[in-house]
Chain A
């Protein structure tokens, strides 16, 4: 019996969050297998084989895995679930999409976004926007789990797993990808960044957001994030959103600018090591979680900060 981690990848390399899911698997204990379902994905399979702690990589290479449709992925995972005690995936938008489908097809519960492993059947997960953590125990024969990346270290390289080919599952052809509009950026990825500069409604408009926060982010080698209000108002695109329903981040340094600190926003960033808040309202709830609070008008503070940093 082994643990199967479903890898997220772009057919050539493995996404960072999968490494955190592998670490969660090592905490459960047992042999770890990685499933790579893709199209012309030999490079991703090789990369998967190099992950520390993984003993076997299962590869299903077929054109109908090119777009990672949840129907096809779920069917493949279900067909290969037998002989695995646990099925794990990172709690990314991809993992959250297909894993519950897997669980339903296996007639088992899914344990969403675990942040801790107590034992092989008991896990810790946040509920109520992270205001409460629940310890839950599963009696199901196979545990279907998604893993919150920020709660586990990233597994390193240095492994040499054997690669085994799987026969592809059916092409259900239920979901046709029409197009993707992906944000392109030279900056680090939000969920992997060591420093994040995040802007809220206080930025006033998109022009201010970019003009004032980009140079700061560049100077600090930071990723840019945003509150929901900033995204809703169109300052930046949806993939910037940090929070209960956006991205969960835990950088070394999180700088919140013009963000009030609603619980739904805090849910996404309160595990950051150091939090800085810049807000003109001294009563803003963000100051209750900030290590360093600066009460002031961001239109004055940000240029001054930039000047100080040189």
Chain B
């Protein structure tokens, strides 16, 4: 079976982004970009399913500007067999990405689509669920364990109260949570090999998808800053201040 993995190019998780002076957007000039951490986990999981003999092919898909090629090469260095870039300069929102992925699913007919649970830039946590809805497929989000047997995926999900395990028939959309696995480091030989793997480029118009944004960002701002308070000398001092100054205990 084929597995499709959606990988997004985002600001590296170590970067603290800044707002542009005109408050129109965040300033991404000269900022380090990386694969969304959850998507790295999703790729790793797909590659493990291939290594286990369950998947036959792992296809990485990324939508966005031409530089998303780098993200696809990273996915292929981890072990994806090929990449598909849906190239556009339009700002993509989750519904548009879900529609693009749907078009790719219709062509590639994967049995499993793996997405990250959330992109760490827009923090939307929507795309996988939207794709599942558009395909009328089952979904199992926030996965911390995935077992595939025949036409069934058994997925352990991280929920507010603890864990739950569900069974979904394939094809299905699964989204990766942090504890699903620990992604491997791409080795130099694999990075070199990835450069020669097939990378196809297509466009939203070719796929027949209208990607016009539905939400308009009116402005962005930095939230009110918390300022550092004081240092207390010891436990006694702390308890005294919490009682008499902060009055929270």
| Contacts A180-B162, A220-B249; A128 near B11 (Cβ below 8 A) | yes
**Contact of A195 with B by CB under 8 A:** yes
Residues of A within 8 A of B138 (CB): 71, 172, 174-175
Residues of A within 8 A of B217 (CB): 134-136
Surface stretch bound by A, among B50-58, B125-133, B197-205: B125-133
Instruction: List residues 213-236 of chain B with CB under 8 A from any CB of chain A.
Output: 214-223, 226, 228-232, 234-236
In the bound complex, what is the Cα–Cα distance between A126 and B131 (angstroms)?
23
**Contact of A186 with B by CB under 8 A:** no
The answer to whether A129 touches B246 (Cβ under 8 A) is no
The answer to whether A274 touches B248 (Cβ under 8 A) is yes
**Contact of A98 with B by CB under 8 A:** yes
The answer to whether B226 touches A270 (Cβ under 8 A) is yes
The answer to whether A104 touches B129 (Cβ under 8 A) is yes
B66 to chain A, nearest CB (A): 23
The answer to whether B218 touches A101 (Cβ under 8 A) is no
Residues of B within 8 A of A181 (CB): 162-164
Task: Please pick, from A98, A232, A245, A294, the residue contacting B234 in the complex, using a CB distance under 8 A.
Answer: A294
Size class of the A contact interface (CB-based, 8 Å): 35 or more
Task: Please pick, from A93, A244, A245, A294, the residue contacting B238 in the complex, using a CB distance under 8 A.
Answer: A294
Contact pattern, B 86-100, Cβ under 8 Å of A = 1, otherwise 0: 000000011100100
In the bound complex, what is the Cα–Cα distance between A238 and B156 (angstroms)?
12
The answer to whether B234 touches A247 (Cβ under 8 A) is no
**Contact of A20 with B by CB under 8 A:** no
Contact pattern, A 138-161, Cβ under 8 Å of B = 1, otherwise 0: 111000000000000000000000
The answer to whether B154 touches A276 (Cβ under 8 A) is no
- How many A-B residue contacts, CB cutoff 8 Å? 253
Surface stretch bound by B, among A22-30, A52-60, A80-88, A284-292: A284-292
In the bound complex, what is the Cα–Cα distance between A201 and B216 (angstroms)?
40
In the bound complex, what is the Cα–Cα distance between A220 and B246 (angstroms)?
15
The answer to whether B139 touches A70 (Cβ under 8 A) is yes
The answer to whether B166 touches A178 (Cβ under 8 A) is yes
**Contact of A1 with B by CB under 8 A:** no
Surface stretch bound by A, among B68-76, B103-111, B114-122, B188-196: B114-122
Size class of the B contact interface (CB-based, 8 Å): 35 or more
In the bound complex, what is the Cα–Cα distance between A111 and B95 (angstroms)?
11
| Contacts A74-B133, A128-B26, A239-B162; A178 near B167 (Cβ below 8 A) | yes
Contact pattern, A 93-120, Cβ under 8 Å of B = 1, otherwise 0: 1101111111111011111110000000
Residues of A within 8 A of B216 (CB): 136-139
The answer to whether B235 touches A294 (Cβ under 8 A) is yes
- Residue of B at shortest CB range from A219? B249
The answer to whether A100 touches B126 (Cβ under 8 A) is yes
- Residue of B at shortest CB range from A252? B248
Task: Please pick, from A105, A137, A287, the residue contacting B228 in the complex, using a CB distance under 8 A.
Answer: A287
Instruction: List residues 154-175 of chain B with CB under 8 A from any CB of chain A.
Output: 154, 157-169
In the bound complex, what is the Cα–Cα distance between A250 and B156 (angstroms)?
28
**Contact of B123 with A by CB under 8 A:** yes
The answer to whether A294 touches B16 (Cβ under 8 A) is no
The answer to whether B162 touches A307 (Cβ under 8 A) is no
Show 19 residue pairs from A and B whose CB-CB distance is below 8 angstroms, ordered by the A residue.
A70-B129, A94-B159, A100-B124, A101-B133, A109-B93, A110-B94, A127-B121, A127-B220, A128-B26, A135-B219, A137-B215, A182-B162, A232-B178, A270-B226, A275-B226, A293-B232, A296-B234, A304-B235, A305-B235
Interface residues of B (CB under 8 A from A): 11, 13, 16-17, 19, 26, 93-95, 98, 117-118, 120-134, 137-142, 144, 154, 157-169, 177-179, 214-223, 226, 228-232, 234-236, 238-239, 241-242, 246, 248-249
- Counting from the closest, the 10 A-B pairs by CB-CB distance are A291-B229, A104-B130, A174-B138, A100-B129, A100-B126, A304-B235, A109-B214, A104-B133, A101-B133, A253-B248
Contacts A131-B223, A137-B218, A292-B246 supplied; 16 other A-B pairs, CB < 8 Å: A70-B139, A70-B141, A100-B129, A104-B98, A104-B129, A112-B125, A175-B138, A182-B161, A232-B178, A237-B163, A244-B120, A245-B177, A253-B249, A263-B16, A292-B230, A294-B234
